[in-house]
Amino acid sequence: MDQPEISIRNLNLSFEKQQILKNINVDIPRHKITVIMGPSGCGKTTLMRCMNRLTDLNTQAKVSGNIFIGDRDILNTNDDITEIRKMMGLLAQRPYPLPMNIFNNVAYGLRISGRKKKRFLEKRVEHYLRQVNLWEEVKDRLRDPAAVLSIGQQQRLCLARGLAVDPRIILADEPTSALDPISSQLIEEKFAELKSSYTIVMVTHILRQARRIADHVVFMYMGEVIEQGPANEFFENPQMEMTKSYLKGLFY
């Protein structure tokens, strides 16, 4: 494997007395879709939240270990945290559009990083909306509030908004769980296109979705990584007994 985009080393996280993540070691390859899979409550979302340091919001969570992006340990650094978070776009379980119009939702990230020229903003907003196939649907109502969009459109708007801050990595936490099948398919197709320029990490508990789009799989159970590897090896020839029974649908 080439130099991985994200390397997680000996990551432990405990919340009060309960240990949520146990000695996690994971490599996430560059410009591929990595799917973190496992039953509910296995710690997959928590693992993702460690990557963009949303775990900071919780004082009771004790985190130790290292997360390297390139050579930089983003877990133990005093660098500006907003800059670390900007490297990673987040797509949440359900869309959380900002309370402003469609245009400003995408322009938000550009504006807070100091890009305020109107012409520039118009060009970039169009670019990102086209990138998520939303431009044709909204070009005549850019000044309407984001709340008027359907939930599937809102999720694509959130993706566009995330791309607009020019991240290297896209973190997606069950991004299709609130969407209808057609909207879900649009998101999946988008991910397949975007992986040529972004590293995508996606959490899912839908086995079929993982099979459809994963290039690399991390399988977790009870806070531990059971198995990880390229998708075809993982699905065709799993090494661990637990993985085999999970893939057979014996537990979820």
Nearer to another protein, 1 or 81 (CB): 81
In which region does residue 160 sit, left (phi positive, over 0), alpha (psi from -120 to 50) or beta (all else)? alpha
Q: Are strands 33-37 and 199-204 parallel, antiparallel or unpaired?
A: parallel
| Residues between 119 and 158 with contacts to another protein, criterion CB under 8 A | 145-147, 158
In the structure encoding, which two tokens stand for residue 128, read together? 């990102």
4, 38, 162, 175: residue in contact with another protein (rule CB under 8 A): 162
Binding another protein (rule: CB under 8 A), the pick from 32, 44, 85, 195 is 85
Between 55 and 84, how does the x/- string for binding to another protein read (CB under 8 A)?
A: -xxxx----------------------xx-
CB of 92 to another protein, least distance (A): 5
Which residue's CB is nearer to another protein, number 101 or number 183?
101
Q: Name the β-bridge partners of 25.
A: none
**Residue 122, Cβ neighbours under 10 Å: how many?**
13
Q: What's the closest the beta carbon of residue 81 comes to another protein, in angstroms? A: 9
* # binding residues, another protein (CB under 8 A): 34
Helix 151-163 with 181-194: angle, nearest 10 deg? 20
Query: Measured from the CB of residue 56, what is the shortest distance to another protein in angstroms?
Result: 8
| 88 vs 218, beta carbon nearer another protein | 88
DSSP 197-225: TSEEEEEE--HHHHHHH-SEEEEEETTEE
Q: What is the spatial distance between Cα 18 and Cα 2, in angstroms, rounded to a whole number? A: 35
* Residues whose CB is less than 8 angstroms from the CB of residue 27 and which lie 6 or more positions away in sequence, other chains included: 1, 4, 6, 7, 8, 228
**Using only C-alpha atoms, what is the Rg of the chain?**
18
What x-and-dash track marks residues 17-56 binding another protein by CB under 8 A? Answer: -----------------------------------x-x-x
86 is a contact residue toward another protein (CB under 8 A): yes
Binds another protein by CB under 8 A, chosen from 23, 31, 62, 165: 165
Look up residue 32 and give its two tokens. 């591929």
Dihedral-angle region of residue 165 (phi above 0 means left; psi in -120 to 50 means alpha; beta otherwise): alpha
Compare residues 97 and 238 and give the one whose CB is closer to another protein.
97
- Kindly state the smallest distance separating residue 137's Cβ from another protein, in Å: 18
Cα separation of 108 and 113, whole Å? 9
Tell me the closest approach of the beta carbon of residue 97 to another protein, in angstroms.
Answer: 6
Binding footprint of another protein on the chain (CB under 8 A) = 52, 54, 56-59, 82-83, 85-86, 88-90, 92-94, 96-101, 108-109, 112-113, 145-147, 158, 161-162, 165, 171
